[in-house]
């Protein structure tokens, strides 16, 4: 049986812009008018697809480390002709630190990041103290950080870090919205968690004016 690793990647007509091979400046990433929202770890791109369609006056940027997911999400955005959203393949930590300017984002979205439980793997976590501070720096006054996870310990850890190392106000309660159809979820991870009866922990943090 052919292994998952040996299978070729699904061909896509529109690929994500790869920051590893094509470093970009901020004005190349978020060109045009309108408020900008950033999603860190976009996965298959369900959030970007729905949010870009619902808020056409906003610009959306997604960044994903896994090439397969990043290119697939870019292709789905192109097929929906969602020109107000762009998909990047790259390292979100470096992108925030080196590319995203101060007070340039109205919202940052981080949904179901890998908690990397083992101590030797914790350095792989996308959310660390520096990233949280870069998120705070990049938000405009009144800008929002949306953080969701299905792991209670990780939720408490990140919320505590945000309260200890940033001036973002929160966590604020985010009510669960009832799904109207089988794909009416913010991300595929939320869909999987809720269809299996698992709780989802949601936090909203806001940058003070």
Q: Give the domain ranges of the chain.
A: 17-206
* Mean pLDDT across 137-143: 98
pTM of the model: 0.87
Domain covering 17-206, topology: Rossmann fold (3.40.50)
Catalytic-role residue among 27, 33, 91, 114: 114
Mean pLDDT of all residues belonging to the chain: 87
Chain-centre distance for alpha carbon 31: 19
Instruction: Please confirm, yes or no, whether 114 is among the known catalytic residues.
Output: yes
Q: What angle do CA 60, 65, 68 make, to 5 degrees?
A: 95
What per-residue confidence (pLDDT) applies to 123?
62
pLDDT tens digits along 7-17: 454 555 788 99
Residue 37 main-chain phi, psi, to 5 deg? -120, 140
pLDDT tens digits along 77-89: 999 999 999 999 9
pLDDT tens digits along 41-71: 999 999 999 999 999 999 999 999 999 999 9
């Amino acid at each position: 049986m052919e292994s998952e690793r040996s299978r070729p990647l699904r061909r896509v007509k529109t690929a994500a812009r790869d920051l590893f091979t094509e470093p970009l400046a901020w004005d190349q990433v978020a060109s045009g008018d309108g408020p900008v929202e950033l999603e860190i770890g976009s996965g298959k791109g369900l959030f970007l697809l729905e949010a870009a369609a619902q808020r056409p006056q906003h610009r959306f940027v997604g960044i994903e480390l896994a090439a397969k997911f990043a290119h697939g999400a870019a292709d789905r955005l192109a097929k929906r002709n969602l020109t107000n959203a762009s998909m990047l393949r790259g390292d979100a930590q470096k992108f925030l630190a080196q590319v995203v300017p101060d007070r340039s984002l109205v919202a940052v979205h981080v949904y179901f990041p890998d908690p990397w439980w083992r101590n030797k793997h914790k350095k792989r976590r996308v959310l660390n103290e520096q990233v949280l501070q870069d998120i705070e720096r990049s938000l405009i006054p009144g800008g929002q950080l949306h953080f969701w996870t299905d792991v209670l310990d990780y939720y408490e850890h990140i919320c505590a870090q945000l309260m200890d190392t940033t001036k973002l106000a929160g966590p604020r309660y985010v009510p669960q919205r009832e799904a109207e159809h089988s794909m009416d979820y913010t991300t595929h991870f939320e869909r999987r968690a809720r269809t299996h009866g698992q709780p989802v922990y949601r936090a909203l943090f806001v940058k003070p004016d």
